[in-house]
Amino acid sequence: MSDTDRTGVDARVWKLENVIQSYAWGSTTLLAGMRGMKDSSGPEAEVWMGAHAVAPSQCHLDGQLVGLDRVIAADPSILGPAGRVSSGKLPYLMKLLAAGAPLSLQAHPTKAGAEAGFARENVLGIALDNPRRSYKDDNHKPELICALTPFRALSGFRATTSTVEFFVSLGCSGLDEIVERIEGGGERTLIDIVQHLLTLSAEEGRVLAEQVAGAVAEPGDHELERSIGRRIAEVCPGDPGIVIALMLEAVTLQPGEAIYLGAGRLHAYVDGLGVEIMAASDNVLRGGLTPKHVDVPELVSVLRPEIEPITVLGGVETDTGEFEYPTPAPEFLLSRIELEGRVERVAEGPEIVMVTSGAADFGDESLGPADSVFVPAGVRWSAAGSGQLFRARVAALGDGQG
């Protein structure tokens, strides 16, 4: 690591080589098209940028590739003040997410819930790579997704009156009991319905899912919800999770728009390409639309019954012309830079900067779409070119820095 002088200031940014995750719901066109390539031979779902142990980015150092997790472990000073509030680890994980098909319905735990769940499964001796394990680490996973293309998503329970209106409009007898339970229920009714749907027998679930699939195939009001239902029915035939999905609020984000997802909020991404940032965690509690393990009691225990409408974030313009997406999460702050010429910034904490369109030169490093660099704390960096950049930072650095 000859680039680093031990005063804690690095002489340059480090270009990253990032892992592409090939989950089944990924796209063969979105990431490939972004990089100016032909369609990929298989699904490309996520590009991970960070130091998470599952798939750490690799840094170009002295002609070698070294894991960013190892670089940070060898010299935690590159985190700057963030190291004191994140136990010497990079507190966020940045991703490119390309949804070619709906992701599983899912929610994430609180920090306390993640610590307890992780410790409990460790005591039980459940291996980290066991598919029936719910907690892969002891961290929470608040997250934000910012659209690069039109991006459809489901997030949080819809107002019960709107769900009843939509379900009645479908004219599906299989939903009559659900409607009655919603109309006569209390605060936790929606969560109780989720538990009911996820514990139906395979035959009961299949019959209900097929009835709902037939209903959303018909023309009518609520076209966004119907179209999402049709896509779910196509990808996940016979899965009663379609009913849960249709109980959630639907949104189509336009490029540059974002939504934040806190702990306990049931959600699913449907399709589109976006930049995602989250606390550095891989804890996912699934709730249907997946062949993977669904831990119903654990999911139900973390779900929040509150109905909170989706807030679409358009980016708050700063005095430097950067567009920030503030959230309650202290681990991260995402911002967007529309590059035309040259910009210069100082990294108060560790930063990852990614090009999403056009091209930019970061000193000696030339980046195109999907390329990224890591910037150690204390480094003044500049980018020259034309295109769009996304910048990941730590929101709360302590000592008066932010």
Which residue type, as a one-letter code, is found at position 11? A
Integer-rounded Cα radius of gyration of the chain:
22
Q: Does 84 qualify as catalytic in the annotation?
A: no
Residue of 288, 303, 265, 300 lying closest to 212 (CA atoms)? 288
pLDDT of residue 344 exceeding 90, the answer is yes
Predicted local confidence at residue 7, as pLDDT: 33
Q: Which tens digit of pLDDT belongs to each residue from 166-214?
A: 999 999 999 999 999 999 988 899 999 999 999 999 999 999 999 999 9
299 is written with which tokens?
Answer: 């999911």
Candidates 286, 345, 391, 393; catalytic one: 286
Domains of the chain with CATH codes: 14-153+254-292 (2.60.120.10), 159-246 (no CATH), 320-393 (2.60.120.10)
Predicted local confidence at residue 340, as pLDDT: 97
Q: What is the rounded average pLDDT of the residues 229-258?
A: 97
Q: Which tens digit of pLDDT belongs to each residue from 244-271?
A: 999 999 999 999 999 999 999 999 999 9
396 vs 402: CA distance, rounded Å = 5
152 is written with which tokens?
Answer: 């459809």
Place 4 in a pLDDT band, splitting at 50, 70 and 90: very low
Helix (H, G, I), strand (E, B) or coil at 353: strand
188 is written with which tokens?
Answer: 């936790």
Q: Which tens digit of pLDDT belongs to each residue from 134-163?
A: 998 999 999 999 999 999 999 999 999 999
Place 399 in a pLDDT band, splitting at 50, 70 and 90: very low
Contact present, 310 and 268 (Cβ < 8 Å): no
